[in-house]
Amino acid sequence: MIREAVAIAHPNVALSKYWGKRDVPGNVPAVPSLSVTLGGLRTRTRVRWSDDPREPDRLMLNGRALDRTDGGRIYAFLDFLRRKLDVRGAADVETDNDFPTASGLASSASGFAALTLAAMHAAGAGTSWPRVADLARQGSVSAARSVLGGFVELDVAGAARPFAAADRLPLVVLVCVTAEGPKSIGSTDGMRITMDRSPYGRAWLETAPRIHAALCDGLVAGDFARVGELAEASAMAMHASAIAAGVTYWNGVTVEALAAVRALRTGGTPAYATIDAGPHVKVLAQPQDAARVRGVMEAIPGVRRIIEAHPGEGARVEGAT
Ligand code: PMV
């Protein structure tokens, strides 16, 4: 039986966002979303299942040991995987990201996707993608989308499916990093507070599916400007609902970066912004404009660096022994 496996997964950025969970078991989103999996950033995770149930689980993240206090969510997920995969032994996990962890750069998406796939492969379990995505979603909803490559839809039943191939829309995503370090509030807490307290929580739940449907149509039509406009509208509506509940992920540089993207459009360059549960601005541009857009974003004081990503592949097993 295979006991050890290494898997690679990439983060994804949602063009139409999910924000809010349904009141059912299994970590199911309240609204549909559509993402693009990002090549150019990656998580690599090694999982080894021991035969000895008395050993403790062991977890290393970016070269640092994480105990149950700091890595509680991941340890809880390992307990969940043990039950689902019918494994008795302890897990030895090493995981590395080549981009900032827990800062709104979707490290939980690639992290839980890579962990799920490596754990399943190491356990000798079937790794058909619907099952990998279904289990990964219970670690982090967006992780279900990172299991697949290209453009991926996640519906309100929690099922991820490939929507379009990576080359459907020529696209560059410029991740403008505006801060280092972890974000102040995790996405699960952020969306719970939004739904409990925001005067615009219901408005978001009504608007998001409409934006999603129109964005899917724009993608099918290969219409970059339409997809970009709707992606920006989705992010603004999501953040507006959160900000109204006191959940603010933005910093001053986020606002400057948004203004720069709008100025680019006024000047005739189609560029659009999206923002996840963190302060970074992800600029969507066409490949022929990428260098110019990058130059403008780099010149903003407080933009620390720019990571360039393109539509990429889904999660895969790198090696197994
Ligand atoms: O994957 P989660 O449950 O941590 O939430 C991610 C939520 C957003 O990134 C803000 C939006 C999305 O659809 O990815």
Atom of ligand 1 nearest to the CA of 27: 3
Give the helix ranges, DSSP H, for the chain: 72-85, 107-122, 129-137, 143-146, 187-197, 201-220, 224-243, 252-266, 290-298
From the CA of 59, how far away is ligand 1's center (Å)? Answer: 23
The answer to whether residues 276 and 108 touch, using CB atoms and an 8 Å cutoff, is no
pTM of the model: 0.95
Domain boundaries, the chain: 4-166, 167-311
Query: For position 275, what pLDDT does the model report?
Result: 96
Q: Give, in words, the CATH class of 167-311.
A: alpha beta
Tell me the C-alpha to C-alpha distance, in Å, between residue 81 and each of 72, 75, 169, 192.
14, 10, 35, 25
Tokens at residue 264, please? 């680019």
Rounded to an integer, what distance in angstroms lies between the CA atom of residue 65 and that of residue 57? 11
The answer to whether residues 57 and 75 touch, using CB atoms and an 8 Å cutoff, is yes
CB atoms within 10 A of CB 56: 12
Tokens at residue 49, please? 């299942």
Atom of ligand 1 nearest to the CA of 16: 13
Atom of ligand 1 nearest to the CA of 13: 14
CB atoms within 10 A of CB 230: 25
Rounded to an integer, what distance in angstroms lies between the CA atom of residue 88 and that of residue 79? 10
Rounded to an integer, what distance in angstroms lies between the CA atom of residue 272 and that of residue 263? 10
From the CA of 50, how far away is ligand 1's center (Å)? Answer: 32
Identify the residue whose C-alpha is closest to ligand 1 atom 10: 276
Q: Where are the beta strands (DSSP E) in 12-169?
A: 12-16, 33-39, 43-49, 58-61, 64-65, 91-97, 151-154, 160-164
CATH topology of domain 4-166: Ribosomal Protein S5; domain 2 (3.30.230)
From the CA of 267, how far away is ligand 1's center (Å)? Answer: 31
For the chain (321 residues), the mean pLDDT of every run of 10, in chain order, is: 89 97 96 96 96 91 93 96 95 90 70 98 94 98 98 98 96 93 85 98 98 98 98 98 97 98 98 96 98 98 94 88 51
Identify the residue whose C-alpha is closest to ligand 1 atom 1: 142
Q: Residue 177: phi, psi to the nearest 5?
A: -80, 120
